[in-house]
Chain A
Amino acid sequence: MKFGKVLFVAAAAASVMTAAAQAGTLEDVKARGELQCGVATPLPGFANPNADNVWEGLDVDVCRAVAAAVFGDPMKVKITPTTSKERFTVLQSGEIDMLARNTTWTFSRDVNLGFEFVGVNYYDGQGFLVNKSLGVTSATELDGASVCVQTGTTTELNLADYFRAQGMKYETVPIATAEEGAKVYDEGRCDVYTTDASGLYSLRSVLAVPADQVVLPEIISKEPLGPLVRHGDQQWGDIARWTLNTMIIAEELGVTSANIDEMTSSNNPEILRLLGVEGNMGEQLGLDSKWAYNVIKTVGNYGESFKTNLTDTLNIERGINAQWKDGGLLYAPPMR
């Protein structure tokens, strides 16, 4: 009769009581032998386990890149799916070391909640998706429409503000998850689906007839999505920040997972610094000199990650997420 209680204590003691984050997150991660990274509960393109039980997606790649930078092995990461309700709590409590869960970088999250956003891995904005047959060309014509909106996000607030500002009425159809949303919209329960534009493209690709759907030109909010860490551990923040920057810079410099070994004999000093052939950047971060090499070799640069996760599967264009040279917003600080 006592075994239940004992089991409980044993389970608590053996597996999960972890003393965290007093000294340095990097030391903790190294001691543990794996990175704990929070991602979204299934969101195609950003985080979703495939049929072989492997998590994939743009956000997951950021986690894998950090694991590669620390351990040289992108698989040394424990992926924890988090709901939008609990994501901040689990990061604050130390259950995860970083959160890469398409989270919008806002003042209050950065300052008030005690987090540090280490960059932006996807520039997004809230838009509207409608069926072409409705003949709507602008969001200002949506008076009286039924709008599907995912609950528990800033999306809902933006939507209410926008319709109010335009003096239009609408009916909300709250949606719990993205999968549910696709079903509900496809069935025609709502005329309009609103979420971040990335979500709209990913939604469109899985609808019955994607070509019949059109994303309206109005973007009603700025949603810079990026990974974040706990406030107060500068070293760990730097590692996450520069791992993300490494992926972006690598694309800018044309370094890919395929050509990286040839690039080690490049003439470009910035590439040599990046790959650890020259300089001691890894050492300054508390990592070994080949940290960036490992990131690019095993995970790939930003462009590669974007292509496999978003373009190939969901037909998402680079758009504003192109490199600054190509007219996009991706602009990583120089590596020197």
Chain B
Amino acid sequence: MSAETAQNARRSGGASLFTDQRFRSLFYQALVVGLLGAFIVFIVFNTAQNIEKRGIQTGFDFLSAPAGYDIAISPFIEYTAQHSHGRVFLVGLFNTLLVSALGIIAATILGVFLGVLRLSPNWLVSRVVYCYVEMTRNVPLLLQILLWYAIFLGLPSVKQSMSFFNDTFFLNQRGLILPEPLPSDGFMWVPIALIIGLVASFIFAKWAHKTQDATGKIYPVFLINTAMILGLPILAFAAMGFPLDFAYAELKGFNFKGGMTIKPEFTALWFALSLYTAAFISETVRAGIQSVSHGQTEASEALGLRPSWTMRLVVLPQALRVIIPPMTSQYLNLTKNSSLAVAIGYPDIVQSFGGVTLNQTGQAIEVIFITMLVYLTISLVISSFMNWYNNRVRLVER
């Protein structure tokens, strides 16, 4: 419709309702809602019919029914085959969160490290990092997970376990076996001391910052805080007479008994996720640091700041602004990619709940929707946290 006709129509008192933009907008939206509604009704109708015809059970009763199968890795939640599918859900959710959280931490540390190395003046180092990053980024993650798993299976067998520290740690293809800490009476003072240390160091940091703003006096905040956070618990630990025993693992029958085992399925997934994501993060970090104009560095040097201060006070805060948004999406990707656990049998939520439970109960719709909801929630939480953090470091214009 050309401008003239539109104007003519408007002048002639709305010959057609259709020339009114508000009406048109309403009409289109009603149309979209109508089509979508019809589509949903169509699908719901078909599904209901199919479900009835095929005798598929519906509802969420299965969540309280016994699962009947075992899960190998359930570090913090007690689980046996007699527990319900609902418990399976919790175990799977926890395993997903565990590998994602540890993956995010490892990937961030490694990614920042690689990103800085990539900018190293040493040509050889920066080239090696470049090759590593490109090799990792351009090979599908699924393959890398399978490859890491194959590598861990290549470790010595149980009978030929490598042992470290006087037979307290063992490494074999069934995992890394550690002594299990057994806290006795009085150990509870250690975490309490840790909390006190954390709170105290937080208050001290605030106070030191204020003092510096007011008087210019600088305290060694980092040193004092480290001493408080580490020192207080150690002090408490010593004062209570070292109230901690260890249960050492021993080879009995087929496997090691006692101790804690970190399974290769977990390690392979964790390694692959961390290394893959670290490659992406390193590129983000490199781009972030490079985005800070060299003039900033020169200006801060001209002010007489030490190189480490230049990095910490001038370059990094500005680089962070560029780094945070892509970092968020890398964290989200890592969490979603942890679902590839299904390929090597790490019991995350997709492998245990979305896989085995779906198979045993046949209730695909409920199971898949719950699984998707979990990921949606995790995504929302991570992105709102990162948004909050991003707002904090954002350039504040005055």
What is A's interface to B at a CB cutoff of 8 Å?
84-85, 88-89, 92-93, 112-114, 134, 142-146, 151-153, 156-157, 159-161, 164, 170-176, 180, 183-184, 187-189, 191
Contact = CB atoms under 8 A, between A and B. Distances in A.
B255 A183 contact: no
B150 interface: yes
Contacts of B253: 143-145
B257 A144 contact: yes
Interface stretch (B33-41, B64-72, B127-135): B64-72
B173 A174 contact: no
B148 to A, nearest CB: 14
Interface in B249-280: 252-255, 257, 264-265
Given A144-B255, A151-B356, A157-B68, A187 B153 contact: yes
Interface in B355-396: 355-356, 358-360, 362, 364
Nearest to A152: B359
B15 interface: no
B121 interface: no
B324 to A, nearest CB: 34
Given A174-B347, A187-B153, A145 B362 contact: no
Given A85-B359, A151-B355, A188 B173 contact: yes
Contacts of B153: 183-184, 187-189
B72 A189 contact: no
A191 B345 contact: no
A151 B345 contact: yes
Contact of B72 (A171, A187, A188): A171
Contacts of A174: 72, 345, 347, 351, 356
Nearest to B81: A160
Contacts of B157: 188
Contact of A161 (B68, B158, B252): B68
A135 B343 CA distance: 32
Contact of B55 (A114, A176, A180): A114
Given A172-B71, A176-B344, A189 B173 contact: yes
A139 B343 CA distance: 28
A147 to B, nearest CB: 9
A145 B158 CA distance: 11
A140 to B, nearest CB: 13
A91 to B, nearest CB: 10
A156 B356 contact: yes
A137 B140 CA distance: 44
Report whether over half of chain A's contact residues are helix, strand or loop; otherwise say mixed: mixed
Contacts of A145: 253-255
B173 A134 contact: no
A142 B351 CA distance: 26
Nearest to B345: A174
Contacts of A170: 70
B55 A134 contact: no
A5 to B, nearest CB: 15
20 contacts: A85-B355, A85-B359, A88-B362, A113-B54, A113-B55, A114-B54, A114-B55, A146-B254, A151-B359, A156-B70, A159-B69, A160-B69, A161-B68, A171-B255, A172-B71, A176-B343, A188-B158, A188-B173, A189-B174, A189-B264
Given A152-B355, A164-B81, A92 B54 contact: yes
B70 A172 contact: yes
A85 B351 CA distance: 12
Contacts of A187: 153-154, 173
B255 A156 contact: no
Q: How large is the interface on B (under 10, 10 to 19, 20 to 34, 35 or more residues)?
A: 35 or more
A156 B265 CA distance: 18
Contacts of A92: 50, 54
Contacts of A176: 342-345
Nearest to B56: A113
A212 to B, nearest CB: 13
B255 A146 contact: yes
A175 B343 CA distance: 8
B53 interface: yes
Nearest to A155: B69
Nearest to A86: B364
Given A84-B359, A144-B253, A112 B55 contact: yes
Given A144-B257, A160-B81, A187-B154, A173 B345 contact: yes
Contacts of B53: 114
B70 A160 contact: yes
A85 B254 contact: no
Residue among A113, A134, A172 having the largest count of chain B Cβ atoms under 10 Å: A172
A188 B356 CA distance: 24
Contacts of A84: 359
A152 B356 contact: yes
A156 B71 CA distance: 10
Contacts of B174: 146, 171, 189
* 7 tightest A-B CB contacts, nearest first: A174-B345, A160-B81, A187-B153, A152-B359, A188-B157, A145-B254, A156-B69
Interface string B38-82: 000000000000100111000000000000111110000000011
Contacts of A180: 344
A8 to B, nearest CB: 16
Given A160-B68, A160-B81, 5 more contacts: A145-B253, A160-B69, A172-B69, A173-B72, A188-B157
A84, A92, A113, A184: residue with the most chain B Cβ atoms closer than 10 Å: A184
A176 B265 CA distance: 12
Nearest to A160: B81
B150 A183 contact: yes
A157 B54 contact: no
A143 B252 CA distance: 10
A176 B342 CA distance: 8
Interface string B140-154: 000000000010011
B296 to A, nearest CB: 43
A164 B83 CA distance: 13
Interface string B202-238: 0000000000000000000000000000000000000
Nearest to A142: B254
Interface in B304-362: 342-345, 347, 351, 355-356, 358-360, 362
A156 B70 CA distance: 8
A144 B252 contact: yes
Contacts of B257: 144
A112 B51 CA distance: 12
A238 B141 CA distance: 48
A156 B81 CA distance: 10
